[in-house]
Amino acid sequence: MKRFKNLEEFIHDSWHLLVKAAIKRSGDYQTPVIGTLGDGQAAMRIVVLREVRLQQRQLVFYTDRRSEKMQELEQNARLNWLFWDARKKVQLRMSGECTWHIADGDSRKYWERLPVQGRKSYAAEQPPGTKVETPTEGLPEDWSEDMPLEQTEYAFDNFTVVVCTVDQVQLLHLHGEGHQRAAFEWDGSGWKGSWLIP
Ligand SMILES: Cc1cc2nc3c(=O)[nH]c(=O)nc-3n(C[C@H](O)[C@H](O)[C@H](O)COP(=O)(O)O)c2cc1C
């Protein structure tokens, strides 16, 4: 990756790298770490970046409504994202406010696109994180990959589409001719950025 010429190019290209990752469904940017505030400490885990809405500055992921991260977001809807691409050597840190869709028209739109295999993550009979005696996914006994899609419908109630509107971005580009770091804030109409010592 070439060094960025100016702040505008840095933020513009970074967002476009995310758009590309979400559309192509490949590359390191597709599996960011997200951080919530849980129990007085940062709680982090990997998710799949499902969609980037460039105009709205929104990042989208799916989860189970019963998961701990949702309980944490209900307490504090602020979400942090960490992206790193080992080849491009650009680290992106983003944060923003979340809203989510559960059992509504919006989540239905995404749900309809998921095959049986994709719905499995929301179909456990007990909430994610429940202690069990043996390693199990906790799916109903008759669950199978070739089951009729209608039979997975009960899991729709757990399926959650989280939408995060980003208002803070920190970028770091590791480069042989000099690392580049910058911070940006959304000021209501555009990104206000400044260079930082890496
Ligand atoms: C590559 C990868 C992708 C994952 N994608 C998701 C995802 O899109 N949504 C999700 O809720 N969990 C996903 N997980 C699982 C989470 O990292 C985490 O273990 C789980 O959601 C429980 O987190 P919580 O207890 O903090 O809610 C993924 C894990 C890995 C390793």
Report yes or no: 3 and 177 within 8 Å, Cβ to Cβ: yes
In a domain, 65, yes or no: yes
The pLDDT tens digits for 22-53 are: 999 999 999 999 999 998 999 999 999 999 99
Is residue 75 situated within a structural domain? yes
Full domain range(s) for residue 106:
7-127+155-196
| Any ligand 1 atom below 6 A from CB of 38 | no
In a domain, 140, yes or no: no
DSSP single-letter state for residue 105: H
Residue 132 lies inside a defined structural domain of this protein: no
Residue whose CA lies nearest to ligand 1 atom number 19: 45
98: domain CATH number is 2.30.110.10
Our CA angle for 135, 157, 62, nearest 5°, is: 70
| 140 Cβ below 6 A of ligand 1 | no
Ligand 1 center to 62 CA (angstroms): 9
Does the Cβ of 158 fall within 6 Å of ligand 1? no
Q: Is 142 inside any structural domain?
A: no
Taking the CB of residue 155, how many other CB atoms lie within 10 A of it? 21
Instruction: Give the pLDDT confidence score for residue 153 in this predicted structure.
Output: 98
For 67-80, write each residue's pLDDT tens digit: 999 999 999 999 99
Q: Is 146 part of a structural domain of the chain?
A: no
CA distance 68 to 186: 29
Q: How far is the CA of 121 from the centre of ligand 1 (A)?
A: 9
User: Is 141 contained in some domain?
Assistant: no
168's CB contacts (< 8 A; 6+ apart) are 94, 95, 96, 183, 184, 185, 186
> What pLDDT, on the 0 to 100 scale, is given for residue 107?
98
The domain tally of the chain equals 1
For the chain, what is the mean pLDDT? Answer: 97
- Which two tokens mark 126? 């007990």
Give the span between the Cα atoms of 26 and 15, in whole angstroms: 15
Q: Does the residue 138 lie in any domain?
A: no
Structure tokens at 82: 């960490």
The pTM for the full model equals: 0.98
Name the residue with the closest Cα to ligand 1, atom 31.
46
List the residue whose alpha carbon is closest to atom 13 of ligand 1.
47
